[in-house]
Amino acid sequence: MENSKVVVITGASSGIGEATAKILAKDGAKLVLGARREDRLQDLVKEVEELGGEAMYIVTDVTKVNQVESLAKLAVDTFGRIDVWLNNAGIMPQSLLKQKKIDDWDSMIDINIKGTLYGIGAAIPYMEEQKAGHIINISSVAGHFAHSGGSVYSATKWAVRAISESLREEMAEDQTNVRVTIISPGAINTELLESVTDKGFQSNFEDFYETFGISSERVALTIKQAIDLPDDAAWNEVIIRPTKQV
């Protein structure tokens, strides 16, 4: 399609990223997909094409700045521009601070915060040149409320919101049409629980998600609506929770 958007998605190999790719594909979007699991990306490219979109992928670990830069370059080399960059890759290995799961702390900071920053750094130069674009950052309800065991995850998602608001102001000061949107989901049934390394927390989450969790398609639809808004207006933040989530 002539006017279809070029959308880059990190963490596209499952859950919210994958669902977003599929929903946008139905509109003929040109998708550039990044994640670490190559087999999943290969399958998704085929599905996107069957749904009516175009797709390319490159294996991308968002903790590696050069790989994130290559993802952006692939989009521009292939499709000539980047209309939307979705910083979606994330993990949630929650635990109590006294457990000192330092590897998990480091991974969450590297993937959830630094990965988002590297995505912004890779996309913004192109968007400034285009004088248009849209950065969508996935935060969380946990970026609004902290609770026992959620300290580092919440801190990373709080950081995503702080970074997003600063970016929004910086883009507005430059008088570009670069929009910034934060999407903060509640309980969404995805593979995210597999990143929880503490068995106790994992089992509590399983019960919680079984009771309240909803499909990742709901978040994908929200992302699509944010993209579809005319570009002189932006949803700056959306909290999307299961209706029955307590």
**Cα separation of 86 and 138, whole Å?**
8
Window contacting ligand NDP (CB under 6 A); options: 47-55, 163-171, 187-195, 224-232: 187-195
Q: Is 153 a catalytic residue?
A: yes
- Determine phi and psi for 25, rounding to 5 degrees: -60, -35
Window contacting ligand NDP (CB under 6 A); options: 44-52, 166-174, 190-198, 231-239: 190-198
SS3 for 91?
coil
Range 117-176, binding ligand NDP (CB under 6 A): 138, 140
Query: Cβ closer to ligand NDP: 14 or 177?
Result: 14
Q: Which of 27, 52, 58, 61 binds ligand NDP (CB under 6 A)?
A: 61
> Which residues pair with residue 33 across a beta bridge?
9, 57
Window contacting ligand NDP (CB under 6 A); options: 15-23, 43-51, 72-80, 234-242: 15-23
**Cα separation of 75 and 108, whole Å?**
26
Number of CB atoms found within 10 A of residue 180's CB: 24
Window contacting ligand NDP (CB under 6 A); options: 42-50, 57-65, 74-82, 168-176: 57-65
**Is residue 242 within the footprint of ligand NDP (CB under 6 A)?**
no
Distance of closest approach, residue 226 Cβ to ligand NDP, in angstroms: 15
Number of CB atoms found within 10 A of residue 90's CB: 26
**Stretch 27-46: interaction string toward ligand NDP, x if CB under 6 A:** --------xxx--x------
**Cα separation of 185 and 166, whole Å?**
21
Number of CB atoms found within 10 A of residue 166's CB: 12
**Is residue 8 within the footprint of ligand NDP (CB under 6 A)?**
no
**Is residue 185 within the footprint of ligand NDP (CB under 6 A)?**
yes
**Is residue 60 within the footprint of ligand NDP (CB under 6 A)?**
yes
144-152: long-range pairs with CB below 8 Å, 24+: 144/184, 144/239, 148/96, 149/94, 149/95, 149/96, 149/201, 150/94, 151/97, 152/94, 152/104, 152/105, 152/108, 152/109
**Is residue 111 within the footprint of ligand NDP (CB under 6 A)?**
yes
Distance of closest approach, residue 82 Cβ to ligand NDP, in angstroms: 17
Q: Which residues of the chain form contacts with ligand NDP (CB under 6 A)?
A: 10-11, 13-17, 35-37, 40, 60-63, 88-92, 111, 138, 140, 185, 187-188, 190-192, 216
Q: Which residues are catalytic?
A: 153
